[in-house]
Chain A
């Protein structure tokens, strides 16, 4: 026991000394938890790349208030146990002042008790609404809530006077959260879900589900998943000659989806962050500057198209940067300043945090796009 006590005293003292500015040149340590490998690596990899890229840029410009930023990234592999271990390591060993990530809702829910107890601000890059609903003191998020994407699709259905839909969701964290939101908001828009199907993240053929949907009453199909599942579904739908309008989720809003689905992607509609249509946005759009900078940067560094997953990490780093510039680099100051963020135009949308809203985005964060000639067009 005395050992523990002394170490607590020591760390408290260390925090005290650090915050009083005795080590002016000491770097600011920010932790990051991303699912860089494993089934969610399509999220974790661009997030890791982007976060590192942004931090390097900040340092090249002299850091934040004269302090260099040091980013410590650990891989969670999309596994709750590993995420908790890594979070503990970031807090206890690396002594970070704030944490970015994790990439998935499951990992985030797992580390929330850890950061709440250690009182370290967490800016999650996962989409699940329950991360910040109800709001938790130390937990923020940058990814748009699924409910916002659902609202975008349902509004369009109302416009087209479609009321009976079939939903086809993937049975992982992303899909089950989408399914929950699709069901929860349907009644509000006068929409009836006539068919509720799922598929496994590694499934290779979804003709069975689509055949069932085809034989039912649905007037449109909404599919909620991340690559490659939705691309298989698009192709299967084409094979079966399914003529219903097909909506996808923001989970596939990258060129990769068009590449995978090929011709079958034509005519598919989906809600998306603005990043994929950055170049066609009107000049008055507040986000345009951030978006173009991010897209150009990512292209330069990684020879790949920056997608909105990387954007979540971009937003997280920039939000932290803003908070540290305003209030210093202690965990509690960062938290307090994060909560005061207003009108920050990031990649995911325009962030307005408050004590009752730690997600910070409105449904304007999404636009509805349609795939035409292997490219995106805005649906008005």
Chain B
């Protein structure tokens, strides 16, 4: 086994992992403020890519404007989804909410399919295709964009949750919704915010990966699932925990494919996931909580 191979596996894993992390953080934010696992999260990722493509090719807008518009429209979709399907369900059981988000994801995917067709599309990379040498391994300029956006997003969320009023209020909701309501926090508004933020984040993830992975109406399913895994490994944290979760998953996959068997690489990743869950059910990066009775 050569060192240059290993370093390529690690680097490839790191770059896919960063994407999983970005999607995973979206899961965590909604989960923390509402207790919902939003299975439609992957669809925001898809919307990001498809909308950028739409603005680029159909309306011939410059990339930067297309990206901003795509994030805007995807966020709007998230907000509308919250208004129409989540807010009316204030007393619903968590499991019904899960089904609603699954139904919502099917609906969004279906509409995207009808609007833009079933084909896969390519989006131009942001800054060229010339590989960059990192030691013995290579990455593309687009990967740097991925690392940069992920880092910026994580730092911004950290700042938001630590230093702004609404960020702190959202954290209060995460600890205890009833108590947060009692001290005068508008819980409904926080839920609304959390959907807006995570839809924006999801679409951003979708936009920066689309040049590498192409995009189509059904890319959200698999990416959403991987993001969910990242969030679980990270203990549903909206910060570094999920980032590590995503990176661990990405590296496990690429090492699994490279060193063992590419056919079983996902199985290897999931076996390790199961072991992690069984040894540390609260996620890798969270202290255990006592169970409330």
> Are A and B genuine complex partners?
yes
Binding site for B on A (CB under 8 A): 37, 39, 41-42, 45, 171, 197-200, 202, 204-205, 207-209, 211-212, 215, 227-228, 231-232, 235, 238-241, 256, 259-260, 262-264
Give CA–CA (A335, B134) in the complex, Å. Answer: 62
Q: How many A-B residue pairs have CB under 8 A?
A: 95
27 residue pairs bridging A and B, Cβ less than 8 Å apart: A42-B118, A45-B118, A171-B263, A198-B262, A202-B222, A204-B213, A205-B12, A205-B213, A208-B262, A209-B262, A211-B5, A211-B8, A212-B257, A212-B258, A215-B5, A228-B120, A231-B214, A238-B129, A240-B8, A241-B131, A256-B119, A256-B120, A260-B120, A260-B121, A260-B214, A262-B122, A262-B129
Shortest CB distance B139–A (Å): 8
Give CA–CA (A227, B118) in the complex, Å. Answer: 12
Q: Which residues of B from 102 to 116 have beta carbons under 8 Å from A?
A: 113
Shortest CB distance A199–B (Å): 6
Q: Is B16's CB under 8 angstroms from A204's CB?
A: yes
B60 interface residue per 8 A CB criterion: no
Shortest CB distance B41–A (Å): 16
Give the size of the chain B interface in residues (CB under 8 angstroms).
39
- A263: B residues at CB distance < 8 A: 129
- A199: B residues at CB distance < 8 A: 257, 262
Give CA–CA (A320, B140) in the complex, Å. Answer: 51
* Given A204-B223, A208-B9, A208-B257, 20 other A-B residues pairs in contact with their CB atoms under 8 A: A37-B113, A42-B119, A197-B257, A198-B262, A198-B263, A199-B262, A204-B19, A204-B213, A205-B15, A205-B16, A208-B8, A208-B262, A215-B2, A228-B216, A231-B214, A232-B212, A232-B213, A239-B139, A240-B131, A264-B129
Q: Is B262's CB under 8 angstroms from A207's CB?
A: no
- B213: A residues at CB distance < 8 A: 204-205, 228, 232
Give CA–CA (A171, B263) in the complex, Å. Answer: 7
User: Smallest CB-CB separation from A240: which chain B residue?
Assistant: B138
Give CA–CA (A241, B218) in the complex, Å. Answer: 30
Whether A205 touches B118, Cβ cut-off 8 Å, given contacts A215-B2, A240-B8, is no
- B221: A residues at CB distance < 8 A: 202
Give CA–CA (A264, B263) in the complex, Å. Answer: 25
Give CA–CA (A42, B262) in the complex, Å. Answer: 25
- B129: A residues at CB distance < 8 A: 235, 238-239, 262-264
Give CA–CA (A200, B255) in the complex, Å. Answer: 15
B266 interface residue per 8 A CB criterion: yes
B209 interface residue per 8 A CB criterion: yes
- A39: B residues at CB distance < 8 A: 218
- A262: B residues at CB distance < 8 A: 122, 129
Q: Is B12's CB under 8 angstroms from A208's CB?
A: yes
B203 interface residue per 8 A CB criterion: no
B194 interface residue per 8 A CB criterion: no
Q: Is A231's CB under 8 angstroms from B8's CB?
A: no
B254 interface residue per 8 A CB criterion: yes
Give CA–CA (A300, B16) in the complex, Å. Answer: 41
Q: Which residues of B from 254 to 289 have beta carbons under 8 Å from A?
A: 254-255, 257-258, 262-263, 265-266
Give CA–CA (A197, B264) in the complex, Å. Answer: 10
Shortest CB distance B106–A (Å): 11
- B212: A residues at CB distance < 8 A: 204-205, 232, 235
User: Smallest CB-CB separation from A263: which chain B residue?
Assistant: B129
User: Smallest CB-CB separation from A41: which chain B residue?
Assistant: B118
- A239: B residues at CB distance < 8 A: 129, 131, 138-140
Q: Which residues of B from 235 to 256 have beta carbons under 8 Å from A?
A: 253-255
- A215: B residues at CB distance < 8 A: 2, 5
- A235: B residues at CB distance < 8 A: 129, 212
Most buried by B among A204, A232, A260: A204
Give CA–CA (A318, B15) in the complex, Å. Answer: 49
